[in-house]
Copies of this chain bind each other. A is one copy, B any other.
Amino acid sequence: MKLGRLNHIGIATHSIADSIKHYRKVMGAADISEPFDMEEQGVKVCFVNTPTESGMNGTQIELIEPLDGSSPINNFLEDHPLGGQHHVCFEVEDIVEARVWFEEQGKRILGPTRIGAHGTPIFFVHPKDMMGNLTEIMETPKEGSDWSN
C-alpha cells in the first residue's frame, strides 16, 4: 500500500454547535459545512475546511457529536469530557484492496466496509493494532464511482 492523503482528523465534541463557534470565533475558520446526521454511525458530523496554497482543500477537521446515548463515541467522551482527537483518516485508491492489505497483516478491522461521511466506502482499523490511533481508511472520492458492495 502507498500512503494516501490525510483526508481528515476526527475530533469528538459534546456539541457541534459549540465547536463551530470555537472554530469560527477563536480559530478564524470561514468555511464550515452544514452539520448532518449519520444515523448508522450514531453521530452528527460537520467538516471544518482548512487552507492549502491552492484553496480550501487541506486536511479537514471532522467534528463528531453523539446522536444519542448509544453512540459509539460516548465512551471516548466519557474518557475525554472536553472532547478531543478521536481518529485519523487516510485515503486509499481502492478500498477492497486496502481491506485485504490490513487483514493480511492481522490488523483488526472494526465492522463492515460502509459508506462514510464523504459518500465513499470506508472502514476503521483498531487503535490497538495501529500504535494507539483509531484509523479510518477511506476510498478517495471519484466522479462516477460505482462502488456498491
A72 at the interface (CB under 8 A from B): no
Chain A residues bordering chain B, tally (CB within 8 A): 46
* Copies of this polypeptide in the complex: 2
Contact partner, A13, options B26, B83, B131, Cβ 8 Å: B131
- Would you give the shortest CB distance from A28 to chain B, in whole angstroms? 4
Which of A54, A88, A130, A132 is the most central at the interface, judged by chain B CB atoms within 10 Å of its CB? Answer: A132
- Whether A50 pairs with B85 at a CB distance below 8 angstroms is no
A132 CA / B81 CA spacing, docked (Å): 8
Residue-wise interface mask of A (40-72) relative to B, using a CB-CB cutoff of 8 A (1 in contact, 0 not): 000000001011111001110100000000000
Closest 7 CB pairs of A and B: A82-B132, A85-B85, A84-B132, A1-B28, A83-B132, A59-B59, A3-B29
